[in-house]
Amino acid sequence: MFGQEGKRGISAEDLANLTDFGDSGVSPSSYAFELQPGGAFLAVRARRAIVGDDSYCTAIALVPLDSKKRTKVIDDGGDIAPATGDIYGIADIPVGGPKAALLRWSPSGGSLAYTKIAGTRSEIWIYELASASSHLLLSSAVDIEALSWSPDGTALLFSSRPGKMDALAAIEAEGRQGYHYDGRFWPLSGDRPFLSSDIPSIDQAIDVQNRAGRAVRPDDVSALHPSASRPAGSIRFAESNDGSRLAWTIRESDSVSGETALKVKVEKHDIACGWDACSNIVAMWWSDDGKHLLYQRYAGIGDNRTEFFIWSPGSGKPRRFLSTIDAVFGCRPWQQQLVCAQETSTKPRRIIAVSPSDGRRHTLFDPNPWFDKLSSGSVRRLEWSNEFNISTFGDLVLPPSPRERKRLPLVIVQYDSRGFLRGGTGDEYPIQAMAAQGFAVLSFNRPTWYGSLHKPKDQIELLKASINGWADRRSNLSSLKVIIDKLVNEGLVDANRVAITGLSDGASTATFALSNSTLFSAAILSTCCEAPSTLALAGEALHDFYVEIGYPTSFAANPGFWREGSLMDAPRARPVPMLIQASSGEYRMALTTYRELKGRGWPIEMFVYPDEGHVKVHPAHRLAIYRRNIAWLQKQLSP
C-alpha cells in the first residue's frame, strides 16, 4: 500500500476525486481551454465529482498566464449532463460522459462567452472583464452546438436545431396511433422513436448590447464555421493572423489510411515540404508574426510518440523541438510558445507552456497539486508486433511497493493508452488503484484496424476488410497473446491469473478472445456482448449498417460467423468468472449472452446502473464500479 518515502499508493477514491477540465479525450483537437486574445488569461470549465451527493461541483475559471497571479473563479459551470450524439441517421443517442461546454473570447479579449446547462435548457452567458460580472444572454430549449463572436465583436453567433421541438411534438402525437417501427428506433435506450439527425442546424446572431437578434452575415458564417473556407480535401488547416499564409494537409492517395502531405501557400506562392517529418501531421499553427509554422505529428510504433516541429517555409527543413510519449494536445500559440494541455502516464491533466527554442515545458495550471504526494506504480512503455506484422504499444504498470520475487496477477485494460492512465476507455478500471493493490496492469492500445492494410477508399471498405473472417479481432487477440507471453517469459506475471476488461470495442475484443483462446481466467465487461440478437436490439438503422460492413442478415444466413465471433455461440469457450457492469441504456444487449452462459454454468453476474448511457457519468456509479472491480479481481485472481 505504501511506496517510496512512505507515500501511500493511489486509491479508487483519489481517482474519483480528481478535478477535470475540457473534453475527456486526448486527441490533438480535444478542447481543453480557451486562450484570450493578447494572452493574459486562459478560460477553463472545471468539474469535480461530489460522490456523496452523486453530483458535480463546476466552475468557469480564468487562469492567468502570469504565474504570480491567482486563478479566479468567475461563475459556476452549470450542470453536468450526459452527452448525446448523432449516429446511423438518429439524433441524440445517449453517448454518456459529460456534455462539452463552449467558451469563446471576444476579438478584443474583453468578454468571455460560455455555455451552461441548467436542467433541460442550454444557456449562453457573457462575462465582462471590465466589470467583473456575468449575465445571461440566451436560454434555449435545444443544445447550443456551435458558438463564436462576430468578427467585429458586436454580436454573438450560435448554431442550434430549434426544429427539434416541433419534431418531438410530432412524435408525441404519432404515439396516439401507435409508432411504426422503423429506423428511428434505438431499442437499447428507449421505447419510442428518436429524432432524425437530418433536422437542420440554424445559425443565429444576437447583438450583445441590446440582446436583439439580427441577420447572419457572410463573415459571421466564416467565423462560426471556419472549416467552410478551407481548401478542398484538406484534413488539417492553419491560417496566419493576417491571412497571407496558409498551411494544410491532404491525403497522398485515395486511401483513407494513406499518408498525408503538407502544403503551404505564402502570399500566393506554393511551397512544398518534402521531408519525412512533414507527414502524419495532426495539428498546426502559425506563429503570431506569421513567419513560422509550428506543427504536431505522430511518430513511432503505433504512433505512440508525439513530436513538435517549427518550420520557416522556404528556409530549410523543419526543426523538431519536442518528442515525447506524453499526451500533449489542444495547443494554441502564445507569444513565442505553445500553450497546451498535457497528461503523462502518472500525472493527470494540467496546462503547460512549451518553448519551441529548446522544447522545455513548464506548468501554468495544475488543478490537482495534491496528486503529486501519492505514490504511483512504475510504468514501462512496451512496443511489439503481432502475427500480422501490425505494431502497437501498451503501458505496463507495476505496484509501487518493492516487488517480492513472485509472479503477479495481470489485468488487461483497453483500448487507448495515451495520456494519464486513469481507468481505460470509459474510465471504469482504476489502473493505479489496482496496481496499489498488488496487480500488474497492462494498459493496451489496440492496434490499427486490420482493414487499413488493404488501402481502403473509405470507412466502409476499411470495416468490411476488418470484419471479414473476424480479421481485426484476430489481430487484436494476436497482439494480446504476444505481449502476455512476453510478460510470462520475463517472470513478471502468472499465466494462470490473467483477466481481461473492456468497454465497447474493448468488450468486443474481450469476448472474441474468450471465444477463441484460453489466455484469460476472468473477465469484466462494461458492455456486453456481440451476438445475433445484438442487431435486433439495436434497431433497424444499426442492423442495416452492420449488414453493409459484412455481418450476416440473420443467424441462419451464416451460423459459422457467430460461432467464431459470439461468446454465447462459441463451442470451445472455456467457462471463466465474468462480471458485467452495464448501463441502463445498454444492458438489454447483454441479456441473451448472460442467460445462455448462466444456463451453462458459467460463474457470471451483472449489475445495471440507472440513468446511464454508453459511457457512465454519475459520480456515485463511477466509484462503485471502481470498488467492485478491484474487490472482484482480488477474489478471482487470488493465488
Tell me: the pLDDT tens digits for 449-501?
Answer: 999 998 999 999 999 999 999 999 999 999 999 999 999 999 999 999 999 99
pLDDT more than 90, % of the chain: 81
- Judged by DSSP in three states, 175 sits in helix
pLDDT tens for 270-297 read 888 889 999 999 999 999 888 999 999 9
Q: Using 50, 70 and 90 to split pLDDT, how confident is the model at 243?
A: confident
Residue 187 clears pLDDT 80, i.e. is over it: yes
Summarize the confidence of residues 427-431 as an average pLDDT.
98
Distance separating alpha carbons of residues 586 and 126, to the nearest angstrom: 38
Q: What share of the chain is helix, strand, coil (3-state, %, to 5)?
A: 25, 35, 40
Q: Using 50, 70 and 90 to split pLDDT, how confident is the model at 228?
A: low
Cα angle 590-466-389, degrees, rounded to a multiple of 5: 120
pLDDT tens for 546-565 read 999 999 988 888 989 999 99
Residue 271 or residue 105, greater confidence: 105
Summarize the confidence of residues 307-335 as an average pLDDT.
95
Residue 5 clears pLDDT 80, i.e. is over it: no
Distance separating alpha carbons of residues 551 and 632, to the nearest angstrom: 34
The HSE-up count of residue 365 (CA atoms within 13 Å, CB side) is 28
Nearest to 270 by CA among 309, 229, 231, 222: 231
Summarize the confidence of residues 52-81 as an average pLDDT.
95
Distance separating alpha carbons of residues 122 and 105, to the nearest angstrom: 19
What pLDDT was estimated at residue 29? 86
Summarize the confidence of residues 64-75 as an average pLDDT.
92
Residue 3 clears pLDDT 70, i.e. is over it: no
Enter the C-alpha cell of residue 308: 513538435
Q: Using 50, 70 and 90 to split pLDDT, how confident is the model at 94?
A: confident
CB 56 within 8 A of CB 40: no
Q: Using 50, 70 and 90 to split pLDDT, how confident is the model at 4?
A: low
Q: What is the pTM of this model?
A: 0.94
Give the residues across from 604 on adjacent strands: 578
Summarize the confidence of residues 265-269 as an average pLDDT.
86
Q: Using 50, 70 and 90 to split pLDDT, how confident is the model at 410?
A: very high
Residue 577 clears pLDDT 50, i.e. is over it: yes
pLDDT tens for 126-179 read 999 999 999 999 999 999 999 999 999 999 999 999 999 999 999 999 999 999
- Judged by DSSP in three states, 508 sits in helix
Distance separating alpha carbons of residues 500 and 519, to the nearest angstrom: 9
- Helix (H) or strand (E) run with residue 625 in it: helix 619-636
Distance separating alpha carbons of residues 54 and 165, to the nearest angstrom: 30
Summarize the confidence of residues 207-211 as an average pLDDT.
94
What pLDDT was estimated at residue 403? 65
What pLDDT was estimated at residue 514? 97
Residue 266 or residue 343, greater confidence: 343
What pLDDT was estimated at residue 427? 97
Q: At what angle do helices 471-489 and 459-467 cross, to 10 degrees?
A: 60
| Statement: 371-636 belongs to CATH 3.40.50.1820 | yes
Q: Using 50, 70 and 90 to split pLDDT, how confident is the model at 97?
A: confident
- Judged by DSSP in three states, 217 sits in coil
268 backbone dihedrals φ, ψ, rounded to 5°: 75, 5
pLDDT more than 70, % of the chain: 98
Q: Using 50, 70 and 90 to split pLDDT, how confident is the model at 1?
A: very low
What pLDDT was estimated at residue 6? 57
Report which residue type is found at 290.
Answer: G
Residue 97 or residue 111, greater confidence: 111
Residue 133 or residue 95, greater confidence: 133
Residue 633 clears pLDDT 90, i.e. is over it: yes
pLDDT tens for 614-623 read 999 999 999 9
